[in-house]
Amino acid sequence: MKTPALLALEDGTTFRGWSFGAASERDGEVVFNTSMMGYTEILTDPSYRGQMVCMTYPLIGNYGITEEDFESRAIFLAGFIVKEQSRITSNWRSRKTLDEALKEYGVPGIEGIDTRKLVKLLRDKGAMKGVVSTTDLNAESLVEKAKQSPGLIGRDCVKEVTCAEEYEWNVPLPDMKPFPAKYHVVALDCGIKRNILKGLVSHGCRVTVVPATTSAERILELNPDGIFLSNGPGDPAALTYIVDEVKKLLGKKPIFGICLGHQILGQAFGGTTYKLKFGHHGGNQPVMRMDTRQVEITAQNHGFAVDINSIKDHPVEISHVHLNDQTLSGMSHKELPIFSVQYHPEAGPGPHDSRYLFARFVEMIESGKPVVGSATCCAGC
């Protein structure tokens, strides 16, 4: 027998559907993801901490769940919203169903709602705070709870997802023959995805992962050849303790930042960040490289961006621009070996157009110079 569930948004809109996953009540910012596949990786992306994700593709769960595809140690998002969860799991690698995985990690799901209506609403009004519940089915009550929920602005979610202690990572990408480990990279874990770590290893890096609270002194004590700043959840403006430590690292070692790492670098350079209307979430986001005018189709997951105008008076070059809304998608320091992008070159899930950035990082480590032009792509990229 199906259990009723209710999704309420802060603007007063409600959607009645059916529960799957954990029977509970959770709040979060409601966003949509346009990927047609890769729901396992989406569920386990720590960058979704504090958010409920609505999938635009109508049928989700048909190939089950296998933990080999996890991007982190757990399912971190607050809730999962789909048009229909598949009743059939057809995949020899599958170890459990979508429903079973959400129950295991205590995450509620809701199905049977008009996801097209929800996505159009979010596109028009922007991402909104919401609550999904199987216990409180009173629309008025749940809308009030959505209004009172904390949201993401000013919220530090990194401390909720970062690792507890340092560890080594040596697993490469499964579709790439890894280069011999030549350089030592320290990766600051703000909510890092495992495919990023695999990408670094596949390009010849020995990786030490450290918690987001690690000091600049400790990072330099590990004597890395390069430093990586990871993706992660929440409001980058709330992470002053990380920005302060990254400022101490500028000019000391080559640095590569992805997503939240890009936003942290933007602030360390003296720039500011702001919240996007509904964010960029999906595997089909067009980005232009400013040096070649080449367009890459990229995987993205972020709700904040670096203000492109706030870095114009600093020695920073705009390297990539998002073609849908002209927001900053990449930057390089003109004098120091530092660059970053506001998207996911490891693309789990998504296209592999941007894997060359890992090779670019290695080349920058080798030369110790700022990024100029395009990197030589390695075999298997």
User: Which residues are annotated as catalytic?
Assistant: 259, 344, 346
The residues facing 20 across adjacent strands are 109
Distance of CA 243 to the CA centre of its chain: 18
Q: How far apart are CA 278 and CA 301, in angstroms?
A: 11
Three-state secondary-structure class, residue 171: coil
Phi-psi region of 95 (alpha: psi -120 to 50; beta: other; left: phi over 0): alpha
User: Do the beta carbons of residue 131 and residue 22 sit within 8 Å?
Assistant: no
- The pairing of strands 167-169 and 51-55 is unpaired
- The pairing of strands 328-333 and 84-85 is unpaired
Secondary structure string (H, E, C) spanning 306-360: ECHHHHCCCCEEEEEEECCCCCEEEEEECCCCEEEECCECCCCCCCCCCCHHHHH
Q: How far apart are CA 196 and CA 173, in angstroms?
A: 9
Q: How far apart are CA 347 and CA 147, in angstroms?
A: 34
The residues facing 96 across adjacent strands are 65
